[in-house]
Structure 1
């Protein structure tokens, strides 16, 4: 840097922009304002794949990627450009979680509130709890979470929760915070908005568990479901696994992601056979995604006896055949059913490979 002293330094950035059109008929876009490269086809395979990959829920959406790695820098490109129209902070890498949360937190101590420095959380798993007093499901879940939190602490496990409030009145915030044994951001703290944008919070209550504030690595976005399924915290911190027994904890994943599900009769042998059929395939898929730093392309489950399983069969119009292997894609409202009656690892792999190759015929959900 010393060699640049006294010189005028300019920055030149280049960023190809791909326009994904949702409106044009087949053919080249005729809109002269669309200067970027693009996929100008209505309902094209490219548009569908990109929308699904980046979980696009509305337009306009501007996703910024690292061209060398393909990794997402930010899905909030539209907001970043609006906030920084001259590109001073381009390409808008999100700050570390520890930097976002820098500052004071609050803790209730009987009838008083004391300040806690963020440094006391170093190295601990942290739960980010988005909630509000006006929300009935939040008020119902908070005491359940409090019991799990106390149990985890009694077991001498490092853990802390930070309450990020959506309360509209400070008195409501204070009354609600009195029921919580953990930390909180102050009322109307701007860090709450930043966290909500960072994690795409669209509803409450939501509990996100991160490895620690230094890495910010997400362990699970399904903390609420995890606590509901494991109120004693025996599986804390609820690490993601390549293959899971399907229960209510995974309902959110089913709604958001493509899932491979092997339905069984619920017997010990049926469950063990299902694990044998899917475990290696799930392990390889998970390892591939982890190596790339991506989310898995699909999530793997085996299903026994659970209320969610029965509801899912009804929702997907599935018969009672067991074992039964399916690829379920709720976001696209499609299901793919394996016709084989015996599901071995070889059968499962061939079926999944056909799905990934796009050679399977889908049935519509609720069809």
Structure 2
């Protein structure tokens, strides 16, 4: 391993011991293996999935069975490299794509590596995440960012990638009419990406007046209350996970349009199958993303999207619990280890 001189032997990290129970521990600094880099973490965005693990200890089939470090939206500085990695990468600022696939299965070979059954993904049991001072990752999943892109923004390329993938699945393009349910961080970014990609109309629904107002700053051409009479959209993207929002949004989709489920909500819900059939609506989910980081870096670097405005607070490792128990005024809290 080649490193800069000041890499210590141990580091601090925030460990989820059980649902609702966090502890700051000291662990050895990981060593990068072949084709890996060691990254000193600068910023980590908190995500709804982190909150879900903190509150419930599980998300669907992913169950916390032993202590785990949360956090999968990191940026940082490469401070060490493993075998076969160019040592000139030391000192490079990077945004980390937190899921490394096997590279061998049919999904990896066809480019759909987000569906790889052997994916190693930060903060998904039993893999530790990035609420820590140092992490290692495959060198090609540490994406360089320009110097003018802040650490916070570099970290938030992960939720931007979620939004890019959702719009890809929705078929958003020039002239599209899009309805987005939920004005949380992902919903706001889905709306902004849709606008950047040329959507003619981006309608956002949310029951919270403050969030709804914020949506206008993120590309929404109109903001409505849930259940408002929107119709004839090319795509409906649910970022709320609320069954009522899904059922309220589906009738808004034109025949031949698309509905995309992004939000984490009920494991099961009753759907209007007859309407889906008679209108030939394409209904799909999303699972993470694939091949989005180059576009995300360009969007952030050019200022086409405003990731920094999402950040409403910062905490250190000793106060991760505060970030995972946000009040309604918080949009995105960033952990700075």
Kindly indicate which of the two structures has a greater share of residues assigned to helix: 1
Q: Name which one, 1 or 2, has greater alpha-carbon Rg.
A: 1
TM-score tier (shorter): under 0.3
TM-score of the superposed pair, with normalisation by structure 2 = 0.26
Kindly indicate which of the two structures has a greater share of residues assigned to strand: 2
